Amino acid sequence: MIDPEHSKQLLEQAAMERLRGWLSCEDRPPAWSGSPNFEGSLPWSEVVAILAGIDPEMSASDGAEGLSLLPGALHFYGFSKYPKDESGRWSLNAGVAAQTGMLIGLKLTTMPPKSAMLMAKKAGVPIPWLEVAISDHECRKYLPQEFLRDRPQGDKGSFREAQRIKRQNQIQTDDKRKLIDGVGYQVFLKLNEDDFRDCRNGKGNVKNMDIVRRIQNAIQEAEPEDPTLWPVTRTLRSRVKAWRNG
């Protein structure tokens, strides 16, 4: 039987890993996109979504029931857990609409994370995950110095803890790679054998995102209890493109 508290901790760890990934741009272009992703599930650009505390790759829709929030965002919007009642969902949607509205007004373009954060700071727009990021040793490395001034620098004697986290992150990265190259590649080969028949649009063109979603589903079924091992959409999209070109 799966322990609900353990599952909650795993989900929180996965969200923290995604925030670290967005800030470091590891396995990603060194900038957050300012253009809407018409293949995605959100109406906002990557930079707007992230600064609103929303994971643009993990969210299923722009409604409260489909949002995947980054660490600290749920508390920022006034909740201790995801709302299940209609009034709670309405309140969360209203908060997200207000936050994304302010960010859209900044006319953010594709830019490095630090530049985007500084633009929000200059305009007085709060960042939902900022306090969590400041408190996290890994995230702090990628924050502009302007956010760290006059704040406690944490325990400088925690080198061994930092090394432990680094090793743990490396293990998770290796496990993700194994899932992609194992489970993911087998799904790709099966689809390829069928000439991607079920992954084509009305004009007969192959839709890479359909391939990506099938791989995501297979990996989540293969590793259902540890979401920290689920690769992000951008990584899978890049791998699918490489497989098809290879």
Q: Which amino acid is at 55?
A: D
pLDDT score, position 4: 60
Residue among 216, 52, 29 at smallest CA distance from 127: 52
Spatial separation of the C-alpha atoms in residues 112 and 128, rounded to whole Å: 18
pLDDT score, position 169: 56
Spatial separation of the C-alpha atoms in residues 128 and 95, rounded to whole Å: 11
Per-residue pLDDT band for 168 (boundaries 50, 70, 90) equals low
Q: SS3 for 164-198, per residue?
A: HHHHHHHHHHHHHHHHHHHHHHHHHHHHHHCCCHH
Spatial separation of the C-alpha atoms in residues 160 and 150, rounded to whole Å: 25
Residues β-bridged to residue 45? 36
- What phi and psi values does residue 56 have, to the nearest 5 degrees? -70, -15
Spatial separation of the C-alpha atoms in residues 190 and 196, rounded to whole Å: 9
Tell me: pLDDT of 20 over 90: yes
Per-residue pLDDT band for 73 (boundaries 50, 70, 90) equals very high
pLDDT score, position 163: 45
Pick the more confident residue, 95 or 48. 48
User: How far does Cα 226 stand from its chain's mean position?
Assistant: 15
pLDDT score, position 181: 85
Name the token pair of 141. Answer: 């490395």
Pick the more confident residue, 52 or 220. 52
Pick the more confident residue, 233 or 129. 129
Per-residue pLDDT band for 94 (boundaries 50, 70, 90) equals confident
The pLDDT tens digits for 98-150 are 899 999 999 999 999 999 999 999 999 999 999 999 999 999 999 999 998 74
Cβ within 8 Å of residue 21, ≥6 positions away: 27, 28, 232
Task: Tell me the Cα Rg of the chain.
Answer: 19
Spatial separation of the C-alpha atoms in residues 132 and 23, rounded to whole Å: 12
pTM: 0.61
Per-residue pLDDT band for 171 (boundaries 50, 70, 90) equals low
Spatial separation of the C-alpha atoms in residues 220 and 226, rounded to whole Å: 9
Indicate the average pLDDT of the chain: 84
Q: What is the mean pLDDT of residues 24-53?
A: 86
Residues β-bridged to residue 111? 32
Name the token pair of 117. Answer: 């954060």
Cβ within 8 Å of residue 51, ≥6 positions away: 103, 108, 116, 117, 120, 125, 127
pLDDT score, position 200: 92
Q: SS3 for 12-51, per residue?
A: HHHHHHHHHHHHHCCCCCCCECCCECCCCCCCCEHHHHHH
Q: Of 28-32, 41-45, 134-138, 202-206, which gets the smallest average pLDDT? A: 28-32
